[in-house]
Structure 1
């Protein structure tokens, strides 16, 4: 074969191979134009924002001044149709933030009011022993308070000239054999508390007793002993008080905003620290009509059976009042609510990654739930986890814009994170170990803060980790908004979160008073 022919054959074979390869390439679905066009376009963030400070924006990922990852904000094609304050968050960010939602329910509010109380005698069953005549205590059979007595046991012996004269009158009528006079003399001795056995012994022996022995009118424990042997006593003097132990009273206090929710007959559960694992069931027996003007609390009396006599007067107890109501209302989880000094908000989940902060009006509350009077509808989805981060972005353009003076060189409000190390309900102040506040050039430290009156003090307990907003006002720093991140592990004893120096009670433990409560 000549050289020219060889070249022609080679060109022909190469062209055939190339044509085959081109056909195979175009036929492959892996690289088809249709497949390529079906891939979603990758969104590019408009900017990155600090979770704790929405005014802190950057053009690239990074860390906020508080060391938190910046959150990307994306443009949404439908954002022009959304109401002010609506934000859109990508699914990846929602997952990383741990966003959880719950549905607004229309149901009864299960209210539990936690407080503390003290065990006492059932005063309805207390018996007070008074002399009917004046005289002297010859013998006192009861020596100390707390001593147990049985019905019919001798309590004391009393010498009284009046009792001696009354016995002589009976003997004289017996000699006259006048039944009406005899019966009248016997009734007089009974009215003077002379025991029936001594009256019958007098009739039988015709001998006057110089002392009269007074017997216990019922079984129980001596609650009060005011005299000693040899005392001169008169009618009206209380010598001994005896209280039964089969049933006791427990007196507690609830805060003013909770008083309207407590009803007579409400079920009550009680625990004692020195008897762990045991729970007593009782009920509300009486609600005192007068509010304590100093402590702003209402006294509540409860009744408990005490057949095993484990409950002793003056014992300290943890109380939980189940003040349930049959009325239905819109109920949301307590952790969904963001509280500030000016309003209360929740973050509404609109679907498709859209969220918006909205203002709500709150009503009654329990340990875990809060009633919503205005702002939500049954079936709405609200955020119950990481809502603080969403709210910080939504609030910039929402219908309730939080404005600040751009001319001030230093902001009057800042957000930070910290852990509560101490609470002082009397002063409405807490001690917080917080992180650095760059805007105010504050280093990490532990310091005291006053708490705004609109912030729920019940949620602020020792060990609680929270985000909180600090506001400078007239030279003071006040916590104006809080968002609880985590609470310390609950102990068996219920706690209350506001504690006044309640009248007549030992308040060394009153910080336990939780009273889960109305806002």
Structure 2
């Protein structure tokens, strides 16, 4: 070798070390002693029970559960690539533990909010029947609540002195042939809920009727019948209500944590115990503006079509509100997340039998998946089975952080030229190129040579 020839070696520079305490590992020009030391067979540090990491022995044997103890070796330098807490498990042990993994998914999250509710009348179509005058119910055509009625069907006959007087006023105005009095008398009769047909008949026959029949303004079913024949009624009394069942409302409540997901127009599915196997599809019709202060729940009004009248008021229903997230998000299986009171973690599968427990920040939770806000990338793989055992071992030394492309690495690899060898001090002077990861320029530095490297082989 010419005196001008310089040996090119591989160096690793640790971020936490100064120039005088950096490590050098032999690349070229070694006599092979370092490789022989590296290839020496490692001995286990101890043996541990597969299901109890606290059960340790200094020799092979059986665990209290009758399982073979697993040897634990000193962590290799390859584990340092993934930071503290990375553990390596032999392939046959991974198989015996039943370790299963699943890739992280980036997709829209389907959130299904489950709750219960009660079927109610559509109050937009629910009308209440009130008298406009004092009087007595002479005849009641509707005998019981729940009876169906048609539009224009007679409901009740009322005797009222006020209605008799209003008819007489019209007859007096007709007799005087005073157009303004006639118009005023007709308007009063209309205000008292007398139909246009009744007014025309009175104008034609000129005969006052002592009792007047009132008719249903819409088709539906009777609800809340509160009168009987002979009752004395006043304008403040509600005689009955008529509701329609073509559409129904369902009143439901959702927990406060789900309030931000509820919006008008969201699709809803509903099932009832009395008709198992059948589903009804509806929408969120209205979200009430206030929370219940005692139950901390938000009222939601849902709307369903009811063409066959199968949905009946006061029925108990199971509700699922489907709230889909517009943007894609990182999702993991629900079983992959280890949830504690102060921290949420997952176990990353790093490849080649290596695993590490890391901290994550979770978002929404649905039946099968959990949203991950921080801690995972799209191409990660997480452990979904036997992760508690791996987590217990990794947690002993883990910093619960992961290496990402944006983080500054603890060490970098590069090549350099040996300028001089100081064998007595086990040091060499090396010129190396720039370290882009640390934003370092080209430098000339002194390095301490590792003990396993034959310093006499360096020139």
Shift in Å at residue 379 of structure 1?
A: 1.0
Shift of 1:49: 3.4
Does the residue aligned with 2:182 lie in a helix, a strand or coil? helix
| Contact kept in structure 1, 2:47 and 2:72, CA below 8 Å | no
TM-score relative to the length of structure 1? 0.66
1:264 Cα deviation from its structure 2 partner: 0.8
Instruction: Give 1:101's aligned residue.
Output: 101
User: What are structure 1's unaligned runs of at least 5 residues?
Assistant: 1-39, 402-519
- Deviation, structure 1 residue 203: 2.0
Tell me the residue number matched to 2:447.
Answer: none
Identify the residue that residue 74 of structure 1 maps to in structure 2: 72
Distance 1:90 1:248 in 2: 61
Q: Report 1:56-71 matches (<5 A).
A: 56-58=55-57, 59-64=59-64, 67=65, 69=67
Q: State the Cα distance separating 1:41 from its structure 2 match.
A: 10
The answer to whether the Cα contact below 8 Å between 2:286 and 2:301 also exists between their aligned partners in 1 is yes
State the match for 1:364 in structure 2: 364
Give yes or no for contact 2:60–2:71 (8 Å, CA) kept in 1. no
What does the per-residue CA deviation read over 1:225-265, in whole Å, with 9 as the maximum and x for residues that have no partner?
22222222222321111110100001111111011011110
Alignment of 1:168-179 (within 5 A): 168-179=168-179
Report Cα offsets for 1:434-493 as digits up to 9, x if no partner.
xxxxxxxxxxxxxxxxxxxxxxxxxxxxxxxxxxxxxxxxxxxxxxxxxxxxxxxxxxxx
Over 3 Å counting, the alpha-carbon distance change for 1:166 and 1:352 in structure 2 is: same
Which residue of the partner structure matches residue 373 of structure 2? Answer: 373
Does structure 1 conserve the Cα–Cα contact (< 8 Å) formed by 2:48 and 2:72?
no
Pair 1:265-2:265 in alignment: yes
Q: Which residue of 1 aligns with 2:354?
A: 354
Q: CA deviation at 1:52?
A: 5.3
Deviates more, 1:54-63 or 1:210-219: 54-63
Moved more, 293-302 or 241-250: 293-302
| Other structure's SS at 1:198 match | helix
Partner SS for 1:312: coil
Which residue of structure 1 aligns with residue 186 of structure 2?
186
Shift of 1:54: 2.5
CA distance 1:44–1:218, change in 2 (3 Å): farther
Aligned twin of 1:236 = 236
SS of aligned partner of 1:323: strand
CA-CA distance at 1:163 after TM superposition: 0.4
Q: Match of 1:117, SS?
A: strand
Q: Which residue of 2 aligns with 1:198?
A: 198
Asked if structure 1 preserves the Cα contact closer than 8 Å seen for 2:248 and 2:305, the reply is yes
After superposition, give the CA deviation of every residue in 1:57-89 in whole Å (9 maximum; x if it has no partner).
Answer: 23434344xx47466243253356252211111
CA contact (8 A) 1:356 1:394 kept: yes
Task: Please name the residue that 2:27 is paired with.
Answer: none
- 5 Å matches for 1:440-451? none
CA contact (8 A) 1:73 1:89 kept: no
RMSD: 2.2
Deviation at 1:354, TM superposition (A): 0.4
Q: For residue 317 of structure 1, what is the aligned residue in structure 2?
A: 317
C-alpha distance in structure 2 between counterparts of 1:132 and 1:51, whole Å: 84
Matching of residue 149 in structure 1 with residue 132 in structure 2: no
Q: In the aligned structure 2, how far is the partner of 1:184 from the partner of 1:71? A: 104
Aligned length: 360
The CA deviation at 1:99 is 1.5
After TM superposition, give the deviation of residue 288 of structure 1 in Å. Answer: 1.0
Distance 1:321 1:42, change over 3 A: farther
Structure of larger gyration radius: 2
Which segments of 5 or more consecutive residues in structure 2 lack a partner in the other structure? 1-38, 402-459
Assess if the C-alpha contact under 8 Å between 1:109 and 1:324 holds in 2.
yes
- What does residue range 332-481 of structure 1 map to in structure 2 within 5 Å? 332-399=332-399
Between the two structures, name the one with larger relative contact order (CA 8 Å, sep ≥ 6).
2
